[in-house]
A and B are shown apart, each in its own frame.
Chain A
Amino acid sequence: MDTQSRASEPSAESALLSVGTPLPCYRTMPIQSVTAWSPAAFIGALLMAVLAVPRALVLAPAVISRNRRA
């Protein structure tokens, strides 16, 4: 879990310089793709959605209960 993996790290305050922020610890955020569907993929996905939505609605209470137990 995040909290455990960070427990041994030095606090941000200890890294504070005489500047306004702690020392940077640089790591790039990867750019995500927003490539749109091709027309064929769109129609396929639409069909899948027509099938999936009723299923998701029917199963919603069970999924929520499972999440609560998890």
Chain B
Amino acid sequence: MLGVLQIDGLTIREATILLLFAILFAWIAASFWLSLFGTFARLTKADILPLMPPGGVSAARTAILMPIYNEDVSRVFSGVRAIWESAGSDFDFYILSDSTNPAQWVAEEVEWQKLTTALGATNIFYRHRTRNIGRKAGNIQDFCENWGQLYDYMVILDADSLMTGKTLSHLVGLMDANPRAALIQAPAQLVGRHSLFARIQQFSSSVYGPIHTAGLAWMQGADGNYWGHNAIIRVHAFMQHCGLPKLPGKPPFGGEIMSHDFVEAAFLRRAGWDVWMAPDIGGSFEEPPPTISDYLLRDRRWCQGNLQHLRIVFARGLTLPSRLHLAMGIMSYLASPLWLLLLIVSAIEMLNYRPPTGISVFGASSPLTLATSYAAELGILVLATLVLLYTPKILSTFALLDDAEATRAHGGTGAVILSVVLECLFSTLLAPIVMLQHSWYVLSILLGISTGWSSQHRGDRALPLAFVAKGFAAHTVIGIIATAILWHTGTFGWYVPLLAGLWLAIPVVLVSSSPLLGRWTRAESLFLTPAETRGLRVLDRAHALAGSHEHLSADTRQLVLDDVQVRELHLSLLAGTTAPEDRTRLWALREQAARRDTSRFSREDWTLLLSDAESLKALGSAG
């Protein structure tokens, strides 16, 4: 690149291109090398997880935590029940609710009671926090501070996580046998959704994931990372070293640490504990976001959390690999605006391009000159970039096709190859959409705009056209403007793969959200995964339970006032919690509730009333 740019002197624009290209080339090269190491580790059957194997029966006490926040109750409790049935009574389960929606809160309580009664289980617990201090990290911290001392290990799940009992027991055995290990991450395979977008993601995770995680695990060794869920943690190490500070200043860079997982892993490493990843353990699953829109919405939160790590990456005492994990997390979002900047500066350079004069063969002003061309050099650069981008996918596909059993589980050789080609096409279209969106996220965060804490849409649904058009019209307009500018540069063809994603942003988002199309591709043997071809007992059970789940028909908030049993249950779960301080407001709400005049109650009003045992008891005895 330098050779091409410096021929007629290096301008500031060219130096910028060179710098950006160097950074981004190194960034995509990292992924390339990971996949290369991963393939090597797989082919040579290298020992990726050099830990002592589990011994006999464990005497350890392990809690399985599911922090939830305004989640669909049928999904949560079906998942818990499926895991409980798989894991048996060896574990204690904690549903740790931070739900701020009072209807959701009461529904969770009712579902918890139904579940424990149906199973006759005394090891499934439920706790609700009215004040969500520290968000998810604070929710886990609250568990640790109150009940952490009762347990040796805790397994953190997400609301859409599933793990098999076998995997959970194996993780416990590994922790028992390796007392220096504070955390073992079980990489979650994406399963369980039906939209086209979700199925493509599930296929990618199943085909490309194993090579990537093998490379990562092999390279990082005991300097591993934590991905926030589907991991087992040694409780006393976590309690001693993972109390998260509040960063000075206001959000988005200050305040509570949002992406807590990387930081907690870094703290454990700083304290001398080992953090491992077990890529081959299996039995660890989560669901992907069902649509591109949901995927990008989740990324907004992650982006802010990862950029916040700029404040932590230079913290004293962290190990170099931990800093690298943090830096790579930052770079995964910073890369987008850098790519965009590179494209803009390159386009400006092209618009101002003047063909260099020919090279003189005989003397400075000889009439015998040769035209110069950099097509070969630039061609090599483009080819090298494409190799870095697509080699991980090609290697992963070869590794899969090398295993006849795994190939059959993905629909056979033809189906795998066709699916990979289509996936590459889809990801090429998706890349510029994600680049623009991430660039906007980074810019908005730098402008000081913070994101809230919203619950995620996890269910399959075809997005309405109006919603998609509103969300992605800007991408299309930017694509059209860029086309108009680049049309006459003579290099327009080079930009087509990038611009195509922007032109087609609305149809790509719309079509890929379709569960119908997802099911059609499945019928056509495209994007198949072993979970679909062979079934997964824990997933199928969770889906069956969710499918047969009976939703409460009444307003669950009102049930606390009207139904004695629900009120008694709610009051028993309120025991030990601190009563709200705003007694004047409470008194007014109590008066209104006594008249059943609750139609104008806000969410905060309901939360206040439902948090006060005294008021609810008074309303109960009055009723």
Name A residues whose Cβ lies closer than 8 Å to a Cβ of B: 1-4, 6-7, 9, 11-13, 15-22, 24-37, 41-42, 49, 52-53, 60, 63-65, 67-68, 70
- Say whether, besides A6-B61, A19-B573, A37-B316, A32 and B243 are in contact (CB < 8 Å): yes
Let me know if B58 and A17 touch, CB within 8 A.
Answer: no
User: Could you say which residues of chain A place their CB within 8 Å of the CB of B60?
Assistant: 2-3, 6
Let me know if A37 and B314 touch, CB within 8 A.
Answer: yes
User: Could you say which residues of chain A place their CB within 8 Å of the CB of B180?
Assistant: 67, 70
Let me know if B247 and A34 touch, CB within 8 A.
Answer: yes
User: Could you say which residues of chain B place their CB within 8 Å of the CB of A35?
Assistant: 315-316
CA–CA, A16 and B241, complex, Å = 28
Q: Which of A13, A41, A65, A68 contacts B52 (CB 8 A)?
A: A68
User: Could you say which residues of chain B place their CB within 8 Å of the CB of A20?
Assistant: 109, 112, 125-127, 572-573
CA–CA, A52 and B324, complex, Å = 14
14 CB contacts below 8 A, A to B, read A1-B176, A6-B61, A12-B92, A16-B125, A20-B573, A21-B147, A25-B146, A29-B144, A29-B239, A31-B244, A33-B245, A34-B247, A34-B311, A37-B316
Let me know if B150 and A32 touch, CB within 8 A.
Answer: no
User: Could you say which residues of chain A place their CB within 8 Å of the CB of B320?
Assistant: 49, 52-53
- Say whether, besides A19-B576, A21-B94, A32-B242, A13 and B145 are in contact (CB < 8 Å): no
User: Could you say which residues of chain B place their CB within 8 Å of the CB of A3?
Assistant: 58-60, 152, 176
Chain B residues 116 to 166 lying within 8 A of chain A, measured CB to CB, are 122-123, 125-127, 141, 144-152
- Say whether, besides A29-B239, A36-B311, A70-B180, A16 and B122 are in contact (CB < 8 Å): yes
Let me know if B152 and A6 touch, CB within 8 A.
Answer: yes
Tell me the minimal C-beta distance from B40 to chain A in angstroms. Answer: 14
- Say whether, besides A1-B179, A16-B122, A29 and B145 are in contact (CB < 8 Å): yes
Q: Which of B239, B241, B315 contacts A27 (CB 8 A)?
A: B239
Let me know if A27 and B179 touch, CB within 8 A.
Answer: no
Given contacts A15-B150, A20-B573, 4 further A-B contacts (CB under 8 A): A6-B152, A32-B242, A34-B247, A34-B311
Q: Is B543 an interface residue (CB 8 A)?
A: no
Tell me the minimal C-beta distance from A20 to chain B in angstroms. Answer: 4
User: Could you say which residues of chain A place their CB within 8 Å of the CB of B312?
Assistant: 34
CB nearest to A24 among chain B residues: B146
Let me know if B123 and A2 touch, CB within 8 A.
Answer: no
User: Could you say which residues of chain A place their CB within 8 Å of the CB of B316?
Assistant: 33, 35-37, 41
Q: Is B560 an interface residue (CB 8 A)?
A: no
CB nearest to B222 among chain A residues: A67
Q: Is B221 an interface residue (CB 8 A)?
A: yes
CB nearest to B60 among chain A residues: A3
Tell me the minimal C-beta distance from A6 to chain B in angstroms. Answer: 6
User: Could you say which residues of chain A place their CB within 8 Å of the CB of B548?
Assistant: none
Q: Is B193 an interface residue (CB 8 A)?
A: no
Tell me the minimal C-beta distance from A33 to chain B in angstroms. Answer: 7
- Say whether, besides A2-B60, A36-B314, A67 and B125 are in contact (CB < 8 Å): no
User: Could you say which residues of chain A place their CB within 8 Å of the CB of B241?
Assistant: 32
User: Could you say which residues of chain B place their CB within 8 Å of the CB of A53?
Assistant: 320
Let me know if A13 and B123 touch, CB within 8 A.
Answer: yes
Q: Is B240 an interface residue (CB 8 A)?
A: yes
CB nearest to B125 among chain A residues: A21
CA–CA, A7 and B483, complex, Å = 70
Let me know if B152 and A34 touch, CB within 8 A.
Answer: no
CA–CA, A21 and B306, complex, Å = 33
- Say whether, besides A21-B126, A32-B244, A64-B50, A9 and B314 are in contact (CB < 8 Å): no
Let me know if B122 and A17 touch, CB within 8 A.
Answer: no
Let me know if B123 and A7 touch, CB within 8 A.
Answer: no
Q: Which of A6, A19, A26, A32 contacts B245 (CB 8 A)?
A: A32
CA–CA, A6 and B236, complex, Å = 12
Let me know if B572 and A68 touch, CB within 8 A.
Answer: no
User: Could you say which residues of chain B place their CB within 8 Å of the CB of A32?
Assistant: 241-245, 267
Q: Is B575 an interface residue (CB 8 A)?
A: yes
Let me know if B239 and A22 touch, CB within 8 A.
Answer: no
Tell me the minimal C-beta distance from B13 to chain A in angstroms. Answer: 30
User: Which of the listed residues B149, B150, B236, B242 has the most CB atoms from chain A within 10 Å of its own CB?
Assistant: B150
CA–CA, A65 and B47, complex, Å = 11
User: Could you say which residues of chain A place their CB within 8 Å of the CB of B52?
Assistant: 68
CA–CA, A60 and B320, complex, Å = 14
CA–CA, A20 and B263, complex, Å = 31
Q: Is B75 an interface residue (CB 8 A)?
A: no
CA–CA, A32 and B94, complex, Å = 26
- Say whether, besides A19-B572, A32-B243, A64-B50, A12 and B152 are in contact (CB < 8 Å): no
Top 7 closest A-B pairs, CB basis? A29-B243, A20-B126, A24-B146, A34-B315, A2-B152, A36-B314, A31-B243
